[in-house]
Structure 1
């Protein structure tokens, strides 16, 4: 199966953006063209938030994130940011909820990209990454599973990787230290599945990253372009 996949699969996947996805709606209700990751960066940080039916949980995450980002900008006026909420074809009011933040903070800081149909988390993250303006790009889940202030930890991890080969580096957040608490709340069957999955990832993929499923990852712009340009699977 692996040999067949290797022979038949394209090295560079086809990336398609629907006509409606080439624009975002600003705070005044007008359409503006989305930027491209191929353009020079104009912000220090882009935060990409993939969201699917997150009208209830998104406000908590956005309040926490924007409170942190605004305070950081006041301490350091040279720090600039944007938050890109990618509505992955939601059936609820996710876009409407996100637009409230766009109107409150301005579309230069908060942007909402609504996808025509559900692509999956991988596809939603890629669309947000390809529409970002930041020198660094942070993936953050809409459910607020990770405390946003922990961005400082992944930033420190990225800094420790210097010098970056070709400006490429990725720092991954981890919740492995919370594993004992999570095991206590899981059934034996789910715990068995978890350990089985961790073993396969360790055996077949990466050995240095203990928590590959944490949605809190910080990438340099160059690393993000290289990584998401070769992403074949969208539904993860």
Structure 2
């Protein structure tokens, strides 16, 4: 009897501790995106007549076929690989589709190196007038940079991709094709996946520690109720314009866990999500700390899930 009472006390203490931790997480981990500074409402490009121009708005009608949003923080060395990959893709795409239009939005997230200068020099060297660069006053985080880029994008379809060029950009054709096939009432999201290469023949190269952490994180995500997606964190996600309008004005978190909030918002609003295998390889120079950021993501995910479950965060369908 005493042993049962002791076990019951231990269980009660554990449940209470979990409840207290959850309450603290909700209280202190309920981020809201900070408003833009005035200078962040403008972009620069290589058009010398209008060097500083006002950003667009996601609520307006599309003016180009594709918007490419690239969050970049201290990516002076790695960004040229992606920019060249995008340039080659556009050249081949225009050979097949005459009149294909796009915009390439570089979201410099408060970099301390010459990320912005390098992007502009690349645009001048290769005559890329479609490249627009936005400079954040301070670092928001990857999710914040992606969200701000999406909110000013002008494309019929919008994609964000990591600045390191880890994903082969030409795989976007597969995402576009799957998004258009699954589109319902103008709503579609296609996300790159690094977990289906055995079925598709795509190539994924990652370290053992990354593979283990991804498995652990996927298990944690599943426990918290985000199911049906094998790879939530791949930085290669495409949206129809209507889907982006429902997702990004509702975003709260600005750090690495923002991918999960995107998927939660899609599920809450009935937006079709399709996973598409992509080619991916690990690139040196990641800004993510495996231990620190993994713990941070776990806490952020708990906060996101609880805030939506408890009704602290509401969703606008306007």
Please show how residues 31-180 of structure 1 align to structure 2 within 5 Å: 31-103=52-124, 104-107=126-129, 109-162=130-183, 164-165=184-185, 167-177=186-196
Cα displacement string for residues 34-77 of structure 1 (whole angstroms, at most 9, x for unaligned residues) = 11111111001000011111111110110011111122123212
In the alignment, is the contact (CA less than 8 A) between 1:13 and 1:230 conserved in 2?
Answer: no
Q: CA deviation at 1:191?
A: 5.0
Q: CA deviation at 1:79?
A: 1.6
Q: Distance in 2 between matches of 1:85 and 1:186?
A: 31
Q: CA deviation at 1:7?
A: 9.6
Cα displacement string for residues 188-230 of structure 1 (whole angstroms, at most 9, x for unaligned residues) = xx65433221111123243221111100110011111221111
Q: Distance in 2 between matches of 1:198 and 1:9?
A: 21
TM-score, normalised by the number of residues in structure 2:
0.66
| 1:225 corresponds to | 245
| 1:16 corresponds to | 35
In the alignment, is the contact (CA less than 8 A) between 2:33 and 2:253 conserved in 1?
Answer: no
TM-score, normalised by the number of residues in structure 1:
0.87
In the alignment, is the contact (CA less than 8 A) between 2:32 and 2:253 conserved in 1?
Answer: no
Aligned partner (choices 163, 173, 195) of residue 215 of structure 2: 195
In the alignment, is the contact (CA less than 8 A) between 1:13 and 1:229 conserved in 2?
Answer: no
Compare 1-10 and 126-135 and name the one that shifted more: 1-10
SS at match of 2:193: coil
| 1:186 corresponds to | 208
Cα displacement string for residues 85-109 of structure 1 (whole angstroms, at most 9, x for unaligned residues) = 11111111100111123323343x1
Q: CA deviation at 1:8?
A: 10
Q: CA deviation at 1:26?
A: 2.5
Choose 1 or 2 for highest CA Rg.
2
CA RMSD in angstroms comes to 2.6
Residue segments in structure 1 that go unaligned for 5+ positions in a row: none
Q: Distance in 2 between matches of 1:159 and 1:68?
A: 19
Cα displacement string for residues 121-176 of structure 1 (whole angstroms, at most 9, x for unaligned residues) = 000001111121101001111101110110011112202213x13x2211011011
Residue segments in structure 2 that go unaligned for 5+ positions in a row: 1-18, 257-318
SS at match of 1:173: strand
Q: Distance in 2 between matches of 1:181 and 1:57?
A: 19
| 1:204 corresponds to | 224
| 2:310 corresponds to | none
Q: Distance in 1 between matches of 2:128 and 2:86?
A: 15
Report how many residues are paired: 229
Compare 192-201 and 173-182 and name the one that shifted more: 173-182
Q: Distance in 2 between matches of 1:182 and 1:31?
A: 40
Cα distance 1:196–1:51, how it changes in 2: closer, same or farther (>3 A)? same
Cα distance 1:171–1:191, how it changes in 2: closer, same or farther (>3 A)? closer
Cα distance 1:14–1:50, how it changes in 2: closer, same or farther (>3 A)? closer
In the alignment, is the contact (CA less than 8 A) between 1:101 and 1:110 conserved in 2?
Answer: no
Q: Distance in 1 between matches of 2:238 and 2:104?
A: 14
In the alignment, is the contact (CA less than 8 A) between 1:137 and 1:220 conserved in 2?
Answer: yes
Q: Distance in 2 between matches of 1:7 and 1:87?
A: 30
Q: CA deviation at 1:78?
A: 2.8
Q: Distance in 1 between matches of 2:155 and 2:137?
A: 24
